[in-house]
Structures are given as structure tokens and as C-alpha cells.
């Protein structure tokens, strides 16, 4: 059962990619389609959020 079915999403993107391109696993679709794997994408997002948070801090804290 897919947990986001309640939101109108019948299947995950990974499942669609896996069915249309059997050589790509369900967990590897981000890297195959975008060139950036899931771990790298999450790391970049975390670094960006940390930088944005740091920019909002008063100069005396930094």
C-alpha cells in the first residue's frame, strides 16, 4: 500500500520509473533521471537551509 494514496497519488515516481525502465531500481531513479542521487540532493538541501538560517541570525550570534 502506498502511503500517499490519500493525496491522490496512486503510485510513487520510483515505481513508475521502475516499470518503464526495469534496469533502474526504485530507489535509484533520482540519480538516473537527474544525475544527482538522493543522498547528494538531501545533503545539498540541508546545506542550503543551514546557510539560509545562518544569514537570518543577528551578526553577534555568528
Q: What is the 3-state secondary structure (H, E, C) of 17-53?
A: HHHHCCCCCCCCHHHHHHCCCHHHHHHHHHHHHHHHH
pLDDT number for residue 47: 98
pLDDT (average), residues 31-50: 94
Report which DSSP code applies to 57: S
Please tell me the least confidently modeled range out of 3-12, 33-42, 48-57.
Answer: 3-12
pLDDT of residue 42 exceeding 70, the answer is: yes
Tell me if the pTM is above 0.85: no
Question: Exposed, middle or buried by CB within 10 Å (0-12, 13-18, 19+), for 37?
Answer: middle
pLDDT band at 1 (very low <50, low <70, confident <90, very high): low
Amino acid at each position: 500500500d502506498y502511503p500517499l494514496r490519500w493525496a491522490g497519488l496512486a503510485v510513487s515516481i520510483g515505481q513508475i520509473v521502475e516499470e518503464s525502465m526495469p534496469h533502474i531500481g526504485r530507489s535509484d531513479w533520482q540519480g538516473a533521471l537527474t544525475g544527482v542521487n538522493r543522498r547528494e540532493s538531501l545533503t545539498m538541501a540541508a546545506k542550503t537551509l543551514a546557510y539560509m538560517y545562518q544569514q537570518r541570525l543577528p551578526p553577534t550570534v555568528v
